[in-house]
Amino acid sequence: MKGFKSAFGFNSKVLSALQEKTKEMDEFSRHGGLVFDELKLSENINVKASGELTGFVDLGPFTDDRNKTEASDHGFVVMFQPFQATSKGITCKVPHPVEPGRNVHFISDFPHLIKCIRNAFVSTGLHIPDAHVLVDVVREAWKKDSESLTLKVMPHITQSHVQPTEFVKMKVNLAFQLFSEEVLKEIFLFKVHLAKTFKMTPSPETFLQKMERLIFIMTARIPSKGLKCDSASAKFLEDYLPFLREWEKHAAKHGGGFLSDSTALGLRVTIQSTLSLLSYVTSTLKYTYLLTANLSQDKMENVFGVVRQAFGSNDHPSPEQFLVVINNMAFYSLARPAKGGNSPPELVTALLEPCDVPEQKGARVTALVDSLLDEGNLPHAKEVLERHASLLDHDGMVEKKSDSRVIFYIAG
């Protein structure tokens, strides 16, 4: 690990190692999606042994002059997640900018969408086409079940599920459990009591059934639960889009009770992209099923959890800590051999070669300047040199210099 060096930006050595690792894979295994997210960092400036200052905003060639001296407070991570594992006017995909005949699909983080739906359900209720559903019915059923000293119908449901605090609302598992089959069974068991208590309030059973089914389909992790073409699950997703349109129209007539614009848009785009991806991987790549859990950002959140805990409990690690952990995880994910096997020496060698990220940036600037000089465009070449001078040589950021005679006298 000591020989593995990197910096912010795209490292060609890591990409070469990735190419080396995937060259033996078939096309079936090489397809996946790009997951990207940002992590809040604490501002911290470090001095390397060479005297270089690190910890400033670094967007490569896109860094503005005014940002070069600002301390960075966010880290951006791009992760590749393979698919394979052990509304009107909305576009869920765009043509691939490089490879004709293929599309780039857009998918929102499904667990985050469920949290948003849960928050609306708990706070104000929702006006679905059948009725105005409220969490009060579920809360009353939970209280009735809590009074029992014998076996409980839903032992996993707590007050945090039916009356979540602002902090608890961030937990994905509680949102999923509120829309679980366990809650449906409880409502069925206490339906007589609930009917007497809430004479004018419809039961949210239909809404909970739709949400439970949607979560089941969109979180498939094993082949037996994978999403397949022409299946009942695929038909459910297709029917869910008209349901959203009908729900939106119904809520508008009653002055509210629909999802927020961003949540509704994210849900529509995610469902459409899932169906489009299912069609692509089954028809073109000959997949038998699609594990929909691999379309979420769970893996990215796991990485962020490791970064926050690597140096102790720290919600906002420094840029240097962030870079060290991400580099180590990138090295491990590529160099880790398959179970019972060994990593090829070419792969490890590619990772251990000296990092040339700064050299790559400088080489691109040099090539651009040479091209402009060949064209005779001297003003533009001068502008590029001034803008990217720090990439061609170390920028000492000297504000003032001492008198050379004083320096000579002190130095002897």
Determine the average pLDDT of the residues in 185-192: 88
Q: Please compute, for residue 376, the number of CA atoms within 13 A of its CA located in the half-sphere on the CB side.
A: 0
Question: Do residue 218 and residue 232 come from a single domain?
Answer: yes
Name the pairing type of β-strands 32-40 and 46-47: unpaired
pLDDT at 130: 79
pLDDT digit string (tens) for 54-103?
Answer: 788 887 777 777 787 788 888 888 877 777 655 445 678 888 888 888 88
Q: Which stretch, 155-169, 360-374, 386-400, has highest mean pLDDT? A: 155-169
Question: Do residue 256 and residue 176 come from a single domain?
Answer: yes
Q: Which residue has the tokens 């912010």?
A: 8
Q: CA 84 to CA 29: how far, in whole Å?
A: 6
Within 10 angstroms of residue 401's Cβ, the number of other Cβ atoms is 7
* Alpha-carbon distances, residue 253 vs 89, 206, 258, 305 (angstroms): 22, 20, 11, 43
Question: Do residue 198 and residue 181 come from a single domain?
Answer: yes
pLDDT over threshold 70, residue 173: yes
Determine the average pLDDT of the residues in 365-385: 81
Check: CB of residue 265 under 8 Å from CB of residue 116. no
- Name the helix (H) or strand (E) containing 35: strand 32-40
89 or 136: which leads in pLDDT: 136
Q: Judge whether 5 lies within some domain.
A: no
pLDDT over threshold 80, residue 300: yes
Question: Do residue 119 and residue 46 come from a single domain?
Answer: no
Question: Do residue 233 and residue 322 come from a single domain?
Answer: no
Question: Do residue 140 and residue 81 come from a single domain?
Answer: no
Q: How confident is the model at residue 174 (pLDDT cuts 50, 70, 90)?
A: very high
Per the structure, the count of domains in the chain is 3
pLDDT at 384: 75
Q: Judge whether 147 lies within some domain.
A: yes
Check: CB of residue 332 under 8 Å from CB of residue 6. no
Q: CA 212 to CA 177: how far, in whole Å?
A: 9
pLDDT at 360: 60
Q: Judge whether 102 lies within some domain.
A: no
pLDDT at 200: 63
pLDDT at 301: 84
pLDDT digit string (tens) for 113-130?
Answer: 999 999 999 988 899 987
Average pLDDT, the chain: 81
Question: Which of 398, 53, 114, 120 is CA-nearest to residue 259?
Answer: 120
pLDDT at 23: 73
Question: Do residue 122 and residue 154 come from a single domain?
Answer: yes
Which stretch of 44-48, 156-160, 162-166, 204-208 has the lowest confidence by average pLDDT?
A: 44-48
- According to DSSP, the residues that pair with 126 across neighbouring strands are 133
SS3 211: helix
345 or 137: which leads in pLDDT: 137
pLDDT over threshold 80, residue 412: no
Boundary residue ending a domain (241, 266, 290) = 290
pLDDT at 8: 66
Q: Which stretch, 126-135, 200-209, 214-223, 386-395, has highest mean pLDDT? A: 214-223
Q: How confident is the model at residue 169 (pLDDT cuts 50, 70, 90)?
A: confident
pLDDT over threshold 70, residue 318: yes
Tell me the angle at which helices 136-146 and 181-189 cross, rounded to the nearest 10 degrees: 80
Q: Judge whether 104 lies within some domain.
A: no
Percent of the chain with pLDDT over 90: 27
Boundary residue ending a domain (329, 355, 381) = 355
pLDDT at 349: 60
Q: Judge whether 306 lies within some domain.
A: yes
DSSP sequence for 94-134: EE-SSSTT-EEE----HHHHHHHHHHHHHHT-EE-SS-EE-
Within 10 angstroms of residue 291's Cβ, the number of other Cβ atoms is 20
pLDDT at 2: 52
Domain of 371? 358-411
Q: CA 6 to CA 328: how far, in whole Å?
A: 10
Question: Do residue 332 and residue 363 come from a single domain?
Answer: no
- Give the pTM: 0.64
Percent of the chain with pLDDT over 70: 82
Question: Do residue 47 and residue 118 come from a single domain?
Answer: no
Determine the average pLDDT of the residues in 101-110: 88
Question: Which of 245, 294, 239 is CA-nearest to residue 265?
Answer: 245
297 or 217: which leads in pLDDT: 217
Question: Do residue 348 and residue 263 come from a single domain?
Answer: no
Which stretch of 102-111, 144-153, 394-403 has the lowest confidence by average pLDDT?
A: 394-403
Q: Which residue has the tokens 């559903």?
A: 133
Burial label, 360 (beta-carbon count in 10 A; 0-12, 13-18, 19+): middle
Q: CA 18 to CA 334: how far, in whole Å?
A: 7
Q: Judge whether 94 lies within some domain.
A: no
Q: CA 355 to CA 336: how far, in whole Å?
A: 20
pLDDT at 276: 94
| Radius of gyration in angstroms for the set of CA atoms belonging to the chain, rounded to a whole number | 28
Q: Judge whether 103 lies within some domain.
A: no
Boundary residue ending a domain (332, 355, 378) = 355
pLDDT over threshold 60, residue 354: no
pLDDT at 87: 40
Longest dimension (CA), the chain: 97
Question: Do residue 124 and residue 199 come from a single domain?
Answer: yes
pLDDT at 236: 96
User: What torsion, rounded to 10 degrees, do the Cα atoms 355, 356, 361, 364 define?
Assistant: -150
The torsion angles phi and psi of 252, rounded to 5 degrees, stand at -65, -35
Question: Do residue 203 and residue 281 come from a single domain?
Answer: yes
Determine the average pLDDT of the residues in 211-229: 93
Q: Judge whether 51 lies within some domain.
A: yes
